[in-house]
A and B are shown apart, each in its own frame.
Chain A
């Protein structure tokens, strides 16, 4: 039952193959060309579709820092655990499902739940507000993680809580901006990134023009794509075409993304959040990469409300999630991969998240994607 590869996909791959050789010939550089997919959903799409195996050997797609769970710093998990287990108010911790299994220094929220902590999975920030309205006498804290995609939802939840005067709702925020992380990656000199496959969902909010600053400043093509294999291939082709002609531009092959993005969503972010420095797993503290609640919304800040202590940013011994996120290491290059660290008993977040590079490699057997340096 060896089926012929889809004809259009085959054509795309042939064009990519030719462009790839042209890039290497004209630049005189040794391969492989490395294109980073910034977004975890792309990582999953690439893995699930078996796309990597169709690309030439001299072209590698490497996973970047676009999985919200993966880039969330250890100290944030520890703080959430403190909230769930130690706070005398015994708040309900409302969280996206992905966060439940991420291990902190002293276990995961899932383990905390089994030990009696109140942890509930929600699908949106608004559901957390509903939960607060429903349990009028119990504090509900929403773990606001993610990028520009989830941040407008968190902002709207805060505005709703203020409008409807919900006294028992607050946020523990670790919302992040993706662009500063991409810049931080390019300032590392030990990872080769020839171009960026830019995230579809985030770009719906940001607009594809937002990547112009990176494309110009660092001379790297940035192309936005949607979430299926033909889209990913179209973006890869567009990046290679730019490299062949020596251009570095921001463009999009994803029709849902406008040049200017969603202005209303950006205004919402500006209304509720103020830009701050933020801790990223693997990348450390990056200035102006995080969102904190504005003072006017201070009463919705869980850190203030529960007087939460700061936890030190710690690395898990042996875990190389940080290197994986930065594109320095393929998941299979980590000593724990598939041994101590599996989806069943994950050591690091990249194995937990449904969008994590390690989970993708483990689940879909991406042994041939090959590491970088």
Chain B
């Protein structure tokens, strides 16, 4: 290992090189072999006899390292956040690395170390994993697949069916930082001030919301790909209710706004990796904002809108926005890749 600087196909062969890669590069970063089952195929977990949440996700991002994070942090936070918005505290995770032949091992090392650091901060154990190497050109650097297991907190009763007329919609902070930071790095664009990905764990603020609001917390989602627009469109569709949001109340990062304007993108449709949307009973909305603001990642939390009522019979549920100048427009489910404009 010490004399190889790049991943070879053999690193995925399951032999000595694989063992070396796991023992020398991956395990030290993720907390060492003392982690239960780290070198076996499955982690056996003691079932606590409670409601469990299980999630899986795959991470593909180019570049692998971007301002404010990397694919390692992203994989941990993304998995933890999927559990968090289900009202669960993460207990264990799996992590499978699919690596391209030729990847710089020092880069891999930085990535798994950053994953390990993030996991430790969040308090989730990466208990089992897998490593595959594919021929160069088959993929762009590396991909990560994870599964996450969490324990659903007492009092959490979340879902589309809990959403009802008059509920408030709360957002934890400004939009678009992740998507724009990655896009800017990818295309070598520079803005007046640094734009960092918001990639962060929502485990703590989400758990705090569950604990503080109990039955008044009706739904949570992290608006990742597709941004707030996709999350709200899903929420409207899933709950069969119309939603109205107020543009002026949405927290804004001025650099992200400027970048979006330059690229002709709508901040509402750009990806986030550390934001939370919560639907809460109207009377609990001030409390929800107050609880969220205690956390650094949600210090700009705000009530941004409300559930106006059940969708009209025969009509698709509608998300409308009162614009900052007092006009109205529709917020649509984005249609895939947003393309930067010409001029």
**Chain B binds chain A:** yes
Is the beta-carbon distance between B340 and A123 smaller than 8 angstroms?
yes
Residue among B187, B305, B321, B329 with the most chain A CB within 10 A?
B329
Query: Assuming A1-B322, A354-B339, A362-B332, what are 15 further A-B pairs, CB within 8 angstroms?
Result: A5-B326, A10-B326, A44-B264, A50-B323, A50-B325, A50-B328, A52-B327, A53-B328, A96-B340, A127-B188, A145-B342, A230-B325, A343-B335, A344-B335, A354-B338
Is there a chain A Cβ closer than 8 Å to B336's Cβ?
A: yes
Is there a chain A Cβ closer than 8 Å to B65's Cβ?
A: no
For A121-145 the 0/1 string (1 means CB < 8 A from B) is 1010001000000000000000001
Query: Given contacts A1-B246, A123-B189, A342-B335, are A353 and B341 in contact (CB under 8 A)?
Result: yes
- A277 CB to closest chain B CB (Å) equals 22
Which residue in chain B gives the minimum CB-CB distance to A9?
A: B325
Listed from nearest, the 8 A-B pairs whose CB atoms lie closest are: A50-B327, A5-B326, A365-B330, A97-B339, A149-B343, A50-B323, A364-B329, A50-B329
For B251-277 the 0/1 string (1 means CB < 8 A from A) is 000000000010011100000000000
Is the beta-carbon distance between A146 and B323 smaller than 8 angstroms?
no
- A118 CB to closest chain B CB (Å) equals 14
- A296 CB to closest chain B CB (Å) equals 26
A-B contact pairs, 30 of them (CB 8 A): A1-B244, A6-B326, A9-B325, A9-B326, A40-B341, A44-B264, A47-B329, A49-B325, A49-B327, A50-B326, A51-B325, A96-B340, A123-B187, A123-B189, A123-B340, A127-B187, A146-B343, A147-B343, A150-B343, A342-B335, A344-B336, A353-B341, A354-B264, A354-B338, A354-B339, A354-B340, A354-B341, A364-B329, A365-B330, A366-B329
User: Which residues on A sit within 8 Å (CB–CB) of B328?
Assistant: 50, 53
Is there a chain A Cβ closer than 8 Å to B24's Cβ?
A: no
- A96 CB to closest chain B CB (Å) equals 4
Bound form: Cα–Cα A364–B189 in Å: 28
- B71 CB to closest chain A CB (Å) equals 22
Residue among B306, B328, B332 with the most chain A CB within 10 A?
B328
Which residue in chain A gives the minimum CB-CB distance to B261?
A: A227
- A1-59 with Cβ < 8 A to chain B: 1-6, 9-10, 40-41, 44, 47-54
- A124 CB to closest chain B CB (Å) equals 9
Is there a chain A Cβ closer than 8 Å to B324's Cβ?
A: yes
How many residues of chain A are within 8 Å of chain B by beta carbon? Answer: 50
User: Which residues on B sit within 8 Å (CB–CB) of A49?
Assistant: 323-325, 327, 329
Bound form: Cα–Cα A2–B305 in Å: 10
Is the beta-carbon distance between B305 and A1 smaller than 8 angstroms?
yes
- A72-120 with Cβ < 8 A to chain B: 96-101
- A312-360 with Cβ < 8 A to chain B: 342-344, 353-355
**Interface residues in chain B, defined as those with a beta carbon under 8 Å from any beta carbon in chain A:** 187-189, 244, 246, 248, 261, 264-266, 305-306, 321-330, 332, 335-336, 338-343
- A142 CB to closest chain B CB (Å) equals 12
- A111 CB to closest chain B CB (Å) equals 14
User: Which residues on A sit within 8 Å (CB–CB) of B322?
Assistant: 1-3, 50
Is there a chain B Cβ closer than 8 Å to A240's Cβ?
A: no
- B160 CB to closest chain A CB (Å) equals 21
Bound form: Cα–Cα A54–B326 in Å: 8
Is there a chain B Cβ closer than 8 Å to A285's Cβ?
A: no
Is the beta-carbon distance between B343 and A201 smaller than 8 angstroms?
yes
- B244 CB to closest chain A CB (Å) equals 6
Bound form: Cα–Cα A41–B332 in Å: 19
Is there a chain B Cβ closer than 8 Å to A283's Cβ?
A: no
Bound form: Cα–Cα A366–B327 in Å: 11
User: Which residues on B sit within 8 Å (CB–CB) of A145?
Assistant: 342
Which residue in chain B gives the minimum CB-CB distance to A101?
A: B339
User: Which residues on A sit within 8 Å (CB–CB) of B340?
Assistant: 96-98, 121, 123, 354
Bound form: Cα–Cα A201–B324 in Å: 23
Which residue in chain A gives the minimum CB-CB distance to B244?
A: A1
Bound form: Cα–Cα A204–B315 in Å: 45
Instruction: Identify which of A48, A50, A96 contacts B342 (C-beta below 8 A).
Output: A96
Query: Given contacts A1-B305, A97-B341, A146-B342, are A54 and B329 in contact (CB under 8 A)?
Result: no
Bound form: Cα–Cα A344–B338 in Å: 11
Bound form: Cα–Cα A69–B306 in Å: 37
- B340 CB to closest chain A CB (Å) equals 5
Instruction: Identify which of B324, B325, B335, B339 contacts A121 (C-beta below 8 A).
Output: B339
Bound form: Cα–Cα A227–B332 in Å: 22
Bound form: Cα–Cα A365–B323 in Å: 13
- B201 CB to closest chain A CB (Å) equals 30
User: Which residues on A sit within 8 Å (CB–CB) of B326?
Assistant: 3-6, 9-10, 50, 54
User: Which residues on B sit within 8 Å (CB–CB) of A362?
Assistant: 332
User: Which residues on B sit within 8 Å (CB–CB) of A372?
Assistant: none
Bound form: Cα–Cα A268–B265 in Å: 30
Bound form: Cα–Cα A96–B338 in Å: 12
Is the beta-carbon distance between B339 and A98 smaller than 8 angstroms?
yes
Instruction: Identify which of B244, B266, B341 contacts A48 (C-beta below 8 A).
Output: B266
Is there a chain B Cβ closer than 8 Å to A64's Cβ?
A: no
Residue among A3, A44, A69 with the most chain B CB within 10 A?
A3
Which residue in chain A gives the minimum CB-CB distance to B304?
A: A1
Which residue in chain B gives the minimum CB-CB distance to A201?
A: B343
Is the beta-carbon distance between A48 and B248 smaller than 8 angstroms?
no
Is the beta-carbon distance between A5 and B335 smaller than 8 angstroms?
no
User: Which residues on A sit within 8 Å (CB–CB) of B266?
Assistant: 48, 363
Bound form: Cα–Cα A104–B210 in Å: 52
For A257-293 the 0/1 string (1 means CB < 8 A from B) is 0000000000000000000000000000000000000
Which residue in chain B gives the minimum CB-CB distance to A232?
A: B325
User: Which residues on B sit within 8 Å (CB–CB) of A9?
Assistant: 325-326
User: Which residues on A sit within 8 Å (CB–CB) of B187?
Assistant: 123, 127
Bound form: Cα–Cα A146–B342 in Å: 7
Bound form: Cα–Cα A6–B247 in Å: 12
Bound form: Cα–Cα A147–B330 in Å: 30
